[in-house]
Amino acid sequence: MFFKNLQVYRLPAPWAMTAESLASSLASHAFAPASSNELLRQGWAAPRGDGTPLVHAVNGQFLMQLATEKKVLPAKVINQVAKAKAAELEEQQGFPPGKKAMKELKERVADELLPRAFPIRSDTRVWIDPVNGWLVVDAASPAKADDVVKLLLKAVDRMPLESLRVQRSPVAVMTGWLEADEAPYGFTIDQDAELRATGESRAAVRYVRHTLEPGDVGAHIAAGKQCTRLAMTWNDRISLVLTESLAIKGVKPLDVIKEGNNVAHNDVERFDNDFVLMAGELAKLLADLVEALGGEARG
């Protein structure tokens, strides 16, 4: 249940929309499997499975899920079939198809093969905290999060959603933490980092499970490199990697959280307990991280 990657957005706090109203808006864009001639289909699916609401609400927190079904049609297969058809054409007409004809042939082959392509489904979860105004997409890439946001804005009329903006540059702040060998209150610096030069060379040095010695790191900073990724631990409860774009990756709840989780009597209770626990911890983490980055940028 715990989100592994956080692409963070802002809503007004508090956000007045109810789970029922949000689910009603999503219903017009509910997921349905792709038809035989469709390569891609996206839509909202129930996060707890079929027959449950599109928005799962517990203790005022919302959980949603975008389902994506994409058919796999390898270029190698298309090229192989197109090559065979091109050979047949050459035999019939006495000369090979030209560049334009070959392109059109490949397009026709792709259309013919599409109904037999194997569909692969992936799910992207979304957490909304209406109380504190957070919307978080569990996605490693901004492009994947953009897919979620675009469909959400299409479904919910005039949704007041914005990207998270902070007062200080994450790159400058992370570089400062490393240079001073001191993390902000509530955080500790771990053993993974990336420093990258800003000049034409784009030289980079990466530390992976390696002690960040102040002397070594300081020499790289003095040479003009800045920190673009930094592994940290928050309050001995969650480990994470902060990136230059304000994305938070590699999120892992530590044992202190797992040990404190209540024992559930069934799968439904366990799902809800895990969700409430995650929402509570991540809301505090995000608030502390924004504060460490100088607070939110307004206007």
Domain count, the chain: 3
* Same domain (yes/no): 239, 176: yes
> CB within 8 A of 254, min separation 6: which ones?
233, 236, 237, 238, 239
Q: Does 177 fall in a domain?
A: yes
Tell me the residue range of the domain where 102 lies: 75-115
Shared domain check, 185 and 90: no
Q: Are residues 130 and 259 in the same domain?
A: no
Is the residue at 280 inside a domain?
yes
Predicted TM-score of the model (pTM): 0.86
The residue from 163, 197, 220 where one domain ends is: 163
91 in the same domain as 30: no
Give the C-alpha separation, 141 to 235, whole Å. 26
* Domain-terminating residue out of 85, 100, 115: 115
206 and 101 in a single domain? The answer is no
Query: 134 and 224 share a domain?
Result: no
In a domain, 38, yes or no: yes
Let me know if residue 264 belongs to a domain: yes
For residues 175 and 31, state if they share a domain.
no
Please say whether the beta carbons of 5 and 16 come within 8 A.
Answer: no
Rg (CA), the chain: 24
- Mean pLDDT split into 10-residue runs, the chain, 299 residues: 95 95 96 82 92 95 95 80 79 83 80 77 96 97 95 94 96 95 94 89 88 90 94 97 97 80 75 94 97 91
Residue 263 belongs to some domain of the structure: yes
Task: Please report the pLDDT score of residue 299 as a whole number.
Answer: 66
Of 102, 135, 163, which marks where a domain is finished? 163
Domain presence at residue 40: yes
Asked if residue 148 and residue 11 are part of one domain, the reply reads yes
> Are residues 58 and 184 located together in one domain of the fold?
no
129 with 274, same domain: the answer is: no
Total Cβ atoms within 10 A of residue 194: 20
- 2 in a domain, yes or no? no
Q: Are residues 178 and 227 in the same domain?
A: yes
Instruction: Specify whether 156 is located in the same domain as 41.
Output: yes
Residue whose C-alpha is closest to residue 128's, from 212, 25, 31, 49: 25
Rounded to whole angstroms, the Cα distance separating 298 from 181 reads 30
Q: What is the pLDDT of residue 39?
A: 79
Is residue 297 in a domain? Answer: no
Rounded to 5 degrees, φ, ψ at 261 are -75, 135
